[in-house]
Amino acid sequence: MPKRIDHVAIIVRNIEQALVFYRETLGIEPSVIKDVPSEQVRIAFLPLGGPAGSEIELIEPTTPDSSLAKFLEKRGEGLHHICLEVENIDATLQEMQAKGAPVLDKEPRLAAEGRAIFVHPKGTSGVLLELLERPSAE
């Protein structure tokens, strides 16, 4: 079962330009901006609600031929996905597969924040859904 909304991801053409609104209008400073070469993106994490709060995640494709760049060209800037945090991503994957959910991953992938799987929008009323297990804080 999901524990909470971890983040809402917004795809943008340029993180620095997008941050003007979030910084100057909303007063939200990114906790970190980092490149994730394995996903071909640059991500700005905008924390909300304190240490256990959710985040807005701005994602900018870093290569013109990536799936995210193609998504951006086809649909434009805006909502990319919603992420829910789960306790155990392996058990969640098995449960999703057993229930016939249209899971895009055969095994959990390494994400910027932990291990994750994605569920196709056709099974979630039109929204790409990420299910994420964050590393334990030991």
Report d(CA 124, CA 62) in Å as an integer.
Answer: 27
CATH class for the domain made up of 4-133: alpha beta
For the stretch 19-52, pLDDT in tens is 999 999 999 999 999 999 988 999 999 999 888 8
For the stretch 55-102, pLDDT in tens is 999 999 999 999 999 999 999 999 999 999 999 999 999 999 999 999
Domain boundaries, the chain: 4-133
What residue ranges in 31-77 does DSSP mark as E strands?
Answer: 32-36, 41-47, 55-61
Half-sphere exposure of 36 (CA within 13 A, CB side): 21
User: Reading across the β-sheet that carries 55-61, which strands appear in turn?
Assistant: 32-36, 41-47, 55-61, 4-11, 78-85, 128-133, 114-119, 109-111
